[in-house]
Amino acid sequence: MSAYPNQVSMRVFRHYADVKGVGPTVTAIGNFDGVHYGHQHLLDRAQTRAVSMGAQAAVLTFHPHPADIVGRAKPVMPLYSLVDRCQFLNGYGIDTILAQTFDLKFAALTPRLFVETVLVGALNVSAVVIGYNFAFGAKRAGRLPELKQLGDEFGFAVEVIASVTDAPDSEISSTRIRKAVLEGRLADACSCLGRPHASTGLVVQGEQRGREIGFPTLNVSPETQTLPPVGVYAGWLDTGHHCYPAVANLGHTPTFGEARPRRLEVHALDVELPASYGQRVRFYFSTRLRAEQKFESKDGLIKQISRDCQAARLALAGEPKPRTFGL
C-alpha cells in the first residue's frame, strides 16, 4: 500500500494480492488517464450506487498502460503520472484505489481468474461500473455478456456507462485530450477535463536569472511530457497550500545562450515565493499569451516579461481558480 502526501484518507494498493480490509465495494474500472468528464461520470455512478448498497466506492485502474505491455509498439504518452491520477481520483471522492501493476503475468489472467481473484477475492465487489467498451482478461477475451454471467455466479451487479460526448460524434476521451494539449487547443482540453490541463513536478534549482531581473521563478521538472507547444502561458500555480495566478514560460530559454532542454519556469504574480527545492507543485495552463522569443538584450526581455505579467493578470481576472487536488 502506498501513502500520498496531503491525502491521509486515501488507500492505494499496487497489487491485488496486497489488498486487505476492503469491501464490500462498488468498483469503477478503467485506465482513468486524465480523470476527464467521462471518467467522472463513472465515478459518480459508482459512488451513488455504493451509497444505495451500503458499500465503499473504489477504483480499479492499471499502471503502466496495458497497451504498453501487450499492445502498441509505441508507448502511450500519459496525460498525468500515476500519482496525479490517484490524487484526481481521490479529489473526486474515491479513497480506495487498486492501481494494479500491469505486467505479462497479470495480462495472462483468464477472464474468470480476473473476476475470481481481483474483483471478488481482492475488492469484494457488490457491483462494478464499467465503460461501454470494457474488455477484460487475457487478450481482452472477456466481454460484457461473460462479465454479467460471472456476476450472476459470484453475486455482483454490472452497470455499463455509455460514452460521454460534448457534441454530436465528439466523444470525450484521453486520446482526444492528449491531441488537443499537444496541438495547443487548451480550451478543448479544458472542456473535456472539467478543469485546465496541468503539469505537475518537483521544483528544481535553476540559474537564478529570473530572480536577478526581478521576476523570480519556480523551475519545475514536469513528470510527463504531455505538454502544450512551447510559449508563454497565463495560468495558476498550486503549491499545495495556495493557488496563485501566474505566468509561465514553457520552452528552451534561448535568450541566455544556447537553447536548453524544455523546461517550465513559473512566476507567481504579485507575490514572492520561496524557492522550495524538492517541493511538488502543479501549474494549470489557462491561456497561451505568445510564442517563446529570443531577445537581443536583458532590458528587452524585462520589458516583455512585464507585458506578459500584465497580460496574464487580464486573462485571469475573470477566471475562477481551478479546483485543486492533493500534491
pLDDT, average across residues 15-25: 95
Q: What confidence tens digit (pLDDT) does each residue in 239-297 have?
A: 998 999 999 999 987 655 566 678 899 999 999 888 789 999 999 999 999 999 888 88
pLDDT band at 7 (very low <50, low <70, confident <90, very high): very low
Mean pLDDT of 202-224: 87
- Split at pLDDT 50, 70, 90, the class of 44 is very high
Taking residue 89's Cβ as centre, other Cβ atoms within 10 Å add up to 26
Lowest mean pLDDT among 172-176, 214-218, 239-243, 296-300: 296-300
Q: Please tell me the distance from the alpha carbon of residue 223 to that of residue 221, in angstroms, as a whole number.
A: 6
Mean pLDDT of the 205-224 span: 86
User: Does the structure show a pLDDT above 90 at 76?
Assistant: no
Question: What amino acid is encoded at 298 in this protein?
Answer: K
- How much is the mean pLDDT over the chain? 92
The pLDDT of residue 190 is above 90: yes
Give percent of the chain above pLDDT 70. 95
Total-model pTM: 0.92
Q: Can you list the domains of the chain with their CATH numbers?
A: 11-161 (3.40.50.620), 196-317 (2.40.30.30)
Q: What are phi and psi of 326, to 5 degrees?
A: -65, 155
Averaged pLDDT, 8-35: 93
